[in-house]
Amino acid sequence: MDLPVDKVESTRASGPAAEGKRTRTYREALREALAQAMERDSRVFVAGQGVDDPGAVFGTTKGLAERFGRQRVFDTPIAENGITGIMIGAALAGMRPVLVHMRMDFLPMSMDQIVNHAAKWRFMFGGRVNVPLTIRCIIGRGWGAAAQHSQSLQALFVHIPGLKVVMPSTPYDAKGLLLASIADENPVIFVEHRWLFDQSGYVPEEEYVIPIGKGVIRRKGRDATVVAISHMAYEACKAAESLEKDGIDIEIIDPRSLSPLDDELIFDSVKKTGRLIIADTGWKNCGVGAEIAARVASDALGYLKAPIRRIATADTPTPCSFELEKEFYPSSEDIIFTVKELLNKSPLSPQPYRR
C-alpha cells in the first residue's frame, strides 16, 4: 500500500488547530482511518468486543458495521486469546485484521498468541509469511477504572522482538499511524489514551501515513529535553507554558512510536539541551523511560549536564479512588518540578527525586 507521507507536522500536541484547516477529534480521526482503510482495501476488517454495538468502542467504530456490513465489522465471542489467534490466522491467510480491545488490560489475556505466535511466525517460518495484524487497545484513567482497567502496559510489548508499538497523541498522528499500522507487514500494538479521544486538531481528509519509528519535536527549546509519551505530551506542553513564564525553555519530543524508537531524534535534542526527562504513562520500573535513559547514557552521556530523570507512575497497582488517582498519575506539575530541579544540578548530584 502506497500512501503519501504527509510532511505537515503539528509543532504542538494541544491547542486549537491552525485557522482554516480541517479539524477532527482523536476518535473521529481513528474512525476515519478505519473507514478509509476498509474502503480502499477489502482485506481490512475490524473485530473485537463492542465494535458493532451502540457504544462502538468510545465511538471510534461508530457507523462502520452499517457501512461495511457485519461480516467486516463484528463483535466476537469473549475469548481474547483465541480471537487473537484467529486474527493471526486471518492475517497469515492474507487479510489485514484490526483487532480492538477497549482496555489494554485485556492484552495479558492474549499474551500467548501475541508473544509466542504473532511476534514469531515470520521468524519461525524462515521468513515465508508475515502477520500484518493491528491490535488497537486503550489505556488511561477514569474514575473507577482502577487496577485492572487502566494499565499502561506498553513496556511489556516493547520488550518483544517482532512486535511494533505505537502511541499516538494527536488526532493527526492517530489517523496517520493507524493507516501505517494497517499497512505494516508486522504485528503492531496500537495504544490509545482515553483522555485524548476528545482532543481535536488538524486532520487532512485524504489518506496519509506517519512512518512507524519516526518521532516528532512538539516544541523546540534549549534548556531541557522532555520525551513525553502519549497523554504526557499534553502535560509537557502545559508545563512548557508555565516554565516559559519563568524564562525556562524546554524541548518536547513525542516519540509516537516506542518500537522501533527514534532514538536519533532524542540524541540530537539531548546534545543540544544537555538535560533529559522522560515522561511516560506507565510504571517506572523497567519502563520505556528506562530504555530511553539507557540509550542516552550509552550514546550521548558526554552531553549530559545533569542526571536523567524519569517521570512515571509509582510501581503500585492503579488505585480506584478519584482522590488517589490524582496523586497516582504524574502531571505537568511533576514535569515543572523536575525541570527546575535539573536546571540546578550537576551530573553527579546524589539528591533523590521525589517520585
Partner 1 sequence: MPEETIKSFNVGYLQVLDDEGHADKDLMPELSPGQIKELYELMVLIRAFDDKAFKLQRQGRLGTYLQVKGQEASEVGAAYALKKGDWIFPSGRDVGVLITRGHPMHMLLQYRGGDERGMKAPEGLDNFPITIPVSTHIPICTGAAWASKMRREDVVHMAFFGDGATSRADFHEGLNFAGIFKVPAVFVCENNGYAISLPRARQTAAETLAQKAFAYGFEGIQVDGNDIFAVYSAASRAVAKARKGDGPTLIECVTYRIEGHSTSDDDSRYRTKQEVEEWRKKDPVDRLEKYMKKNKILTDEYKQSVTQKTRDMVEKAVEDYEKVPPPEAADFFANTYAQPTEQLKEQMKEL
As given in the structure block, the three cell numbers for residue 184 are 505494516
Q: Which of 11, 18, 66, 125 binds partner 1 (CB under 8 A)?
A: 125
Helices (H) and strands (E) in the chain — how many of each? 12, 14
Q: Is 149 a catalytic residue?
A: yes
Grid coordinates representing 62 are 461508530
Nearest-approach distance from CB 230 to partner 1, in angstroms: 21
In the list 94, 142, 144, 211, the residue contacting partner 1 (rule: CB under 8 A) is 94
Q: Which stretch binds partner 1 (CB under 8 A): 120-128, 168-176, 221-229, 272-280?
A: 120-128
Q: Does 256 bind partner 1 (CB under 8 A)?
A: no
Is residue 87 a contact residue for partner 1 (CB under 8 A)?
yes
7, 19, 54, 77: which one binds partner 1 (CB under 8 A): 77
Q: Report whether 280 contacts 229 (CB < 8 A).
A: yes
Answer yes or no: are the C-beta atoms of 196 and 230 closer than 8 Å. yes
Q: Are 169 and 231 in contact (CB under 8 A)?
A: yes
Interface with partner 1 includes 161 (CB under 8 A)?
Answer: yes
User: Per CB under 8 A, does 284 bind partner 1?
Assistant: no
Nearest CA to 132 out of 159, 101, 98 is that of: 98
Alpha-carbon distance 169 to 71, whole Å?
31
Site membership for partner 1, residue 71 (CB under 8 A): yes
Residue list 176-205, contact with partner 1 (CB under 8 A): 184-186
The yes or no reply on residue 351 touching partner 1 (CB under 8 A) is: no
Only one of the segments 78-86, 174-182, 196-204, 247-255 lies at the binding site for partner 1 (rule: CB under 8 A); that segment is 78-86
Q: Which C-beta is closer to partner 1: that of 83 or that of 243?
A: 83
Contact call for residue 90 and partner 1 (CB under 8 A): yes
Choose the stretch contacting partner 1; rule: CB under 8 A; options: 23-31, 228-236, 257-265, 308-316: 257-265
> How far apart, in Å, are the Cα atoms of 154 and each of 164, 193, 295, 321?
10, 12, 18, 23
**Best CA proximity match to 267, nearest among 253, 279, 280, 285:** 253
Site size for partner 1, by CB under 8 A?
44
CB-CB contact of 21 with 202 (8 Å): yes
50 binds partner 1 (CB under 8 A): no
Residues 6+ apart with CB under 8 A from 16: none
Interface with partner 1, residue 122, by CB under 8 A: yes
Of 28, 101, 117, 149, the catalytic one is 149
Nearest residue to 58 via CA among 140, 129, 134: 140
Question: In whole angstroms, what is the distance from residue 11 CA to residue 88 CA?
Answer: 37
Q: Please name every residue paired with 94 in a beta bridge, in sequence order, or none if there are none.
A: none
Give the shortest CB-232-to-partner 1 separation in angstroms. Answer: 23
CA distance 350 to 331: 24
Find the catalytic residue in 80, 235, 291, 325.
80
49-57, 124-132, 151-159, 268-276 -> range binding partner 1 (CB under 8 A): 124-132
Query: Under the criterion CB under 8 A, does residue 79 sit at the interface with partner 1?
Result: yes
**By CB under 8 A, residue 69 contacts partner 1:** no
Residue from 33, 37, 91, 237 binding partner 1 (CB under 8 A) = 91
Residues 6+ apart with CB under 8 A from 230: 139, 152, 167, 168, 169, 191, 193, 196, 281
Is 80 catalytic? The answer is: yes
Q: What is the contact surface with partner 1 in residues (CB under 8 A)?
A: 45, 71, 76-77, 79, 81-95, 112-113, 116-117, 121-128, 130, 161-162, 164, 184-186, 213, 259-261, 263
Catalytic residue numbers? 80, 149
